[in-house]
Amino acid sequence: MNDTLAGWLQITVLIAALALTYRPLGDYMARILTATRHLAVEKGLYRLGGVDAEADQQWGAYLRSVLAFSAVSVLFLYGFQRLQNHLLLSLGFAPVKPDQAFNTAASFVTNTNWQSYSGEVTMGHLVQMAGLAVQNFVSAAVGIAVVAALIRGFTRRRTDRVGNFWVDLTRIVVRLLVPMAFVFAIVLVAMGAVQNFHGIHEIGTLVGDKQSLTGGPVASQEAIKELGTNGGGFYNANAAHPFENPNGISNILEIYLLLVISFSLPRTFGKMVGDHRQGYAILAVMGLIWAASVALITVNELHSVSSTAGHSAGGMLEGKEQRFGIWASALFAASTTLTSTGAVNSFHDSFSPGGGGMTIFNMMLGEIAPGGTGSGLYGILILAVIAVFVAGLMVGRTPEYLGKKLGAREMKFASLYILATPAIVLIGTGAAMSLKGERAAMLNSGPHGFSEVLYAFTSAANNNGSAFAGIGVNTHWYNTALGLAMLFGRFLPMIFVLALAGSLARQQPVPVTAGTLPTHRPQFVGLLTGVIVIVVGLTYFPALALGPLAEGLH
Amino acid sequence: MASYLPPAVRRHLSALRMLLVLTVITGVLYPLAVTGVAQAAFHHQANGSVVTQNGMSVGSSLLGQSFDLPKKNPNNPDEAARPDPKFFQPRPSAGSYDPLASGASNLGPNSPDLVKAIDDRRAAVAAFDGVSPEDVPADALTASGSGLDPDISTAYAYEQVDRVAAARGLSPRQVHTLVADHVHGRDLGFLGEPRVNVLDLNRALNALSG
């Protein structure tokens, strides 16, 4: 079979698998989020945790629970890393330094999984599995919980209650993430991913040398790292490492896992608002953007567009694995940066200017196609609110979405959401570029060096976690600045989303009239896609012009 | 929960208890269960797919390794590695095939350093394998993502046949057939790329020439 046919087949099979999952998984998640009965095991957990599972929370209480849980998580993870030398399975590693421990704690709690450390020589097994991997589960669940609250804002009327955070969190972990991760972890082991508690040990090589292997609970972390759109690798090489991603089948499976929840959530949304067509419209926008991005990255990589190194080697294989090749690497790169995953099976820093630039642009879109678990859906719903508002301005009537009026208060929250992340990205990048030492941390010079810094802040503020890794980020400054970017980039938007949820829930829905903008037709799909591309394009164009665009035209 | 505590403190204590409860489930029970099943059902894979020969391990079939000549002075860390002509050679590695230094070069697509490295490798591989520089395939000139890529392209494997055959006193035809037998097609026929596992091929080569 030739390359092109195999490449297309690979993409087709992935889309087919996602399409087959859309309805069952989306419906299942809707049931989890709306069921009135608790499982016996959940009741036990609520009792142990000391939370009231019957309380229906106001948006403020919901938010305070999210923030309390996340704050405690950051402190716990920080302490865990600082004390790892006193714990079991530390492999003899020293405590993680304070700035790096803060950065890593913020990173995993915010579902970012930016890594300024190299896993195999920094973190003991216990920190990896009982610290980092736990956040892979719960940070993914927090995202889904928050979008559930937003959807309830649309579906409920004349109430100030948006759900119970503890119940949402627990159910998503217990009924969705743990069972799925368990099954896929075993499948990954069957293909060659490692799963043991060995420390670093030497084995012989064929010519009589020695090689040091590191074992660890890798497959269990790999499964949830993709499924929860986290992305933090057990090893430094992340999903390019053969022990994390051994062959072509594990590779397509990992891409499927990192997309599946976020691509199925529109179904959950449609089900909960009682109109599946609303879900399909959102899905269509996500699908369009994803497909365009996959196409652009693949073409740029296949033809080594504007890359001297690619032309000189006869192919863009720097930073790519032979078993994946260009097609499977481009597919992974597009999917990981359009979700908040940030796992990599190839290194984006060595991608062509167009391919690498697209990965940055994908994150700048706010990771909404399909985005992180939960965060992707609330991100695109905020943009849908903006799109409806823009359309309302054009025809001169008060905009409404799903029967809820979008007045001044609602638009304030939506606008703040849209402004928060770009502000963090551009201020952070600007600050780094104005400091001599931070500029010097770039491995590459000129526009590509600038792209590395822009990528770092875009990745952190959008909670992606992938990197143009040719930049020395394990410094006090970068660990602190990027740690703060991740925290603000995660929780500021969440505040605005939950505030919007509260304000929507309070309204009595207005009846649909002839003047209501239909939000389930192709017209709206086009409008929303246009709003997304224009809003993001205008926000980031100057920064992109200095980096990837300048490099591509070079 | 003690009701005399301020609500904010109670909330954070509750959050901590929930975190600990969920840690037990997702951070202890879950990985232990996966490990239990993995070790029982897939012992070989779960422990790193280590290949043994006469009771001695010779590497992991999933991790690349170097096939270099012994160092002239084993205590000199700066001595350049010399590839052993009797073995098929793997791709360049940013971490010299050290599993504790997995990762890529992270050099940009127009980096002068990368272009120079590619040119140098092209000249070196062409001279080593006795082929013309334009016949050296891209994977032989570029460092992999993991630095531990166990595979090379079929083109690079065939390109090394004559040199290996000459170094071992085998006929090129014999070695060519051996490579052909070790070509691993795309997974399920369409996933990823065709490839040759360098360790497997070199072991078969050792068996062939005794």
Among the partner residues B38, B110, B187, nearest to A248 by beta-carbon distance: B187
Q: Using the beta-carbon criterion (under 8 Å), do B65 and A205 form an inter-chain contact?
A: yes
Q: Which chain B residues are within 8 Å of A352, Cβ to Cβ? A: 109
Q: Which chain B residues are within 8 Å of A243, Cβ to Cβ? A: 48, 62-63
Q: Which helix (H) or strand (E) holds A128?
A: none
Q: Which domain holds residue A51?
A: 3-553
Q: Using the beta-carbon criterion (under 8 Å), do A206 and B47 form an inter-chain contact?
A: no
Query: What's the confidence (pLDDT) of residue B1?
Result: 47
Mean pLDDT to the nearest integer, A413-436? 95
Q: Which chain A residues are within 8 Å of B9, Cβ to Cβ? A: none
Among the partner residues B104, B119, B150, nearest to A312 by beta-carbon distance: B119
* Residue in B with minimal Cα distance to A224: B26
* Residue in A with minimal Cα distance to B203: A206
Q: Which helix (H) or strand (E) holds A8?
A: helix A3-34
Q: Please report the number of interchain residue pairs, chain A to chain B, with beta-carbon separation below 8 angstroms.
A: 370
Token pair for A546: 């200095």
Please give the share of chain A, as a percent, with pLDDT higher than 70. 100
- What are the distances in angstroms from CA A238 to CA A221, A226, A328, A469, A526? 11, 11, 15, 12, 36
Of the residues A67, A218, A322, the best mutation for testing chain B's interface (the one with the most B CB atoms within 10 Å of its CB) is A322
Query: What's the confidence (pLDDT) of residue B210?
Result: 67
Does any CB of chain A come closer than 8 Å to the CB of residue B130?
no
CA distance B84 to chain A (A): 9
Does any CB of chain A come closer than 8 Å to the CB of residue B98?
yes
Say how many domains are in chain A.
1
Residue B37 and residue B46: Cα distance in Å, rounded? 10
Give residue limits of the domains in chain B: 65-72+82-209
Q: Using the beta-carbon criterion (under 8 Å), do A211 and B98 form an inter-chain contact?
A: yes
Q: Using the beta-carbon criterion (under 8 Å), do A173 and B25 form an inter-chain contact?
A: yes
Q: Which chain A residues are within 8 Å of B115, Cβ to Cβ? A: 308-309, 312
The answer on pLDDT for A407 being more than 50 is yes
Beta-carbon contacts of residue A320 (< 8 Å; ≥ 6 apart): A326, A329, A346, A347, A350, B142, B144, B145
Q: Using the beta-carbon criterion (under 8 Å), do B67 and A207 form an inter-chain contact?
A: yes
Q: Using the beta-carbon criterion (under 8 Å), do B115 and A312 form an inter-chain contact?
A: yes
Q: Can you tell me the ipTM of this complex?
A: 0.96
The answer on pLDDT for A554 being more than 70 is no
Residue B157 burial (C-beta neighbours within 10 Å; 0-12, 13-18, 19+): buried
* Residue in B with minimal Cα distance to A179: B30
Classify A463 in phi/psi space as left (phi over 0), alpha (psi -120 to 50) or beta.
left
Q: Which chain A residues are within 8 Å of B25, Cβ to Cβ? A: 45, 173-174, 178
Q: Which chain A residues are within 8 Å of B56, Cβ to Cβ? A: 204
**Is A504 in contact with A404 (CB distance < 8 Å)?**
yes
**Is A375 in contact with A469 (CB distance < 8 Å)?**
no
pLDDT tens across B72-92, in order?
Answer: 888 888 888 899 999 999 999
pLDDT tens across B47-79, in order?
Answer: 999 999 999 999 999 999 999 999 888 888 888
Rounded to 5°, the CA angle A309-A358-A550 comes to 60
The answer on pLDDT for B2 being more than 70 is no
**Is A275 in contact with A377 (CB distance < 8 Å)?**
no
Token pair for A113: 């999984």
- How, if at all, do strands B56-60 and B50-53 pair? antiparallel
pLDDT tens across A264-302, in order?
Answer: 999 999 999 999 999 999 999 999 999 999 999 999 999
Among the partner residues B110, B114, B199, nearest to A206 by beta-carbon distance: B199
Query: What's the confidence (pLDDT) of residue B71?
Result: 86
Beta-carbon contacts of residue B195 (< 8 Å; ≥ 6 apart): A322, A323, B151, B152, B153, B154, B183, B184
Give the neighbor-by-neighbor strand order of the sheet with B195-197. B151-152, B195-197, B183-184
- Mean pLDDT of all residues belonging to chain A: 95
- How, if at all, do strands A210-214 and A200-204 pair? antiparallel
pLDDT tens across A325-350, in order?
Answer: 999 999 999 999 999 999 999 999 99
Rounded to 5°, the CA angle B79-B84-B89 comes to 105
Does any CB of chain A come closer than 8 Å to the CB of residue B23?
yes
The answer on pLDDT for A357 being more than 50 is yes
Q: Using the beta-carbon criterion (under 8 Å), do A350 and B106 form an inter-chain contact?
A: yes
Q: Measured in Å, how far apart are chain B's first and last C-alpha atoms?
A: 74
Q: Using the beta-carbon criterion (under 8 Å), do B193 and A322 form an inter-chain contact?
A: yes
Q: Using the beta-carbon criterion (under 8 Å), do B31 and A76 form an inter-chain contact?
A: no
Q: What is the DSSP secondary-structure string of A129-152?
A: IIIIHHHHHHHHHHHHHHHHHHHH
**Is A288 in contact with A533 (CB distance < 8 Å)?**
no
Query: What's the confidence (pLDDT) of residue A22?
Result: 98
Rounded to 5°, the CA angle B115-B118-B121 comes to 150
Q: Which chain A residues are within 8 Å of B138, Cβ to Cβ? A: 313-315, 317
